[in-house]
Amino acid sequence: MTTVLVVEDERPLLRALQLALQANGYTVVTAPTASSALASLAVEPIDAIVLDLGLPDLDGQNLIPRVRTMTSIPILVLSARHASAQKVAALDAGADDYVTKPFGLDELLARLRAALRRGAATPATERVDTASFALDFGARRAVRDGSEVRLTPTEWKILEVLTATPGRLVPHQDMLERVWGPAYVKETQYLRVYLGQLRRKLEADPAAPVHLVTEAGLGYRFDP
């Protein structure tokens, strides 16, 4: 059974999320603080995290990179912060998706299912080797300059889409739909954030990428 860690300091909302997720077949671990969330991650088999940013002991924005040092499981952010810059910052820190409050339960469940599918998807390409990095999709292992690089489930999915057709353009809308789903085809900021992250992690010179290439105004291309 899939286990979700819900990190939320508002007790009524935490309880509501717990009941709703349990009613939909999930095992739920709850944490009202960042410190209790980190403690749960250290001992519980967690498959995904639903994270509120407004925590009492540590802002969720700062918790995300700490979680990423421990695990690459999907992180779905819940927040009352609506500004685009705040969404980008959360994604840039390592979150996989961002849902603003108030939200509909159906939407939250759909996004959680999508995030879990991205994490569990089986790639069409098993291995990719370039002059800068190597990707083993089966083992979910990325290596650059002899050192292992931690990638999130969403970053793996983006790489799966790009490397499936080397040298060919993948349009923005096509990539958004294949990675996040039809409801996300206008969220081009997601691609900008994630491609920036991937270049910093994998390219020898992120400012002048040779493998994860932008086709201005059109989309992205993978050059082996």
Predicted confidence (pLDDT) at residue 71 exceeds the cutoff of 90: no
Give the model confidence (pLDDT) of 137-152 as tens digits.
Answer: 888 899 999 999 998 8
Banded pLDDT at 102 (limits 50, 70, 90): confident
Banded pLDDT at 108 (limits 50, 70, 90): very high
Q: To the nearest whole number, what is the mean pLDDT of the chain?
A: 90
Give the model confidence (pLDDT) of 151-184 as tens digits.
Answer: 888 899 899 999 988 999 999 999 998 888 877 8
Rounded Cα distance, 196 and 203, in Å: 10
pLDDT at residue 98, as a whole number:
92
pLDDT at residue 128, as a whole number:
93
63-66, Cβ contacts within 8 angstroms, sequence gap of 24 or more: 63/7, 63/34, 63/37, 63/38, 64/90, 64/93, 64/94, 64/95, 65/93, 65/94, 66/34, 66/38
Question: DSSP alpha helices (H): ranges in 47-125?
Answer: 60-68, 84-93, 105-120
* Closest-CA residue to 174 (of 114, 220, 121): 220
* Closest-CA residue to 72 (of 36, 46, 52, 35): 46
Could you give the C-alpha distances from 44 to 21, 28, 70, 123, in angstroms and in order?
17, 11, 12, 27
Return the higher-pLDDT residue of 84 and 58: 58
Domains of the chain, each with CATH number or no CATH: 3-120 (3.40.50.2300), 127-222 (1.10.10.10)
Predicted confidence (pLDDT) at residue 125 exceeds the cutoff of 70: no
Rounded Cα distance, 182 and 176, in Å: 8
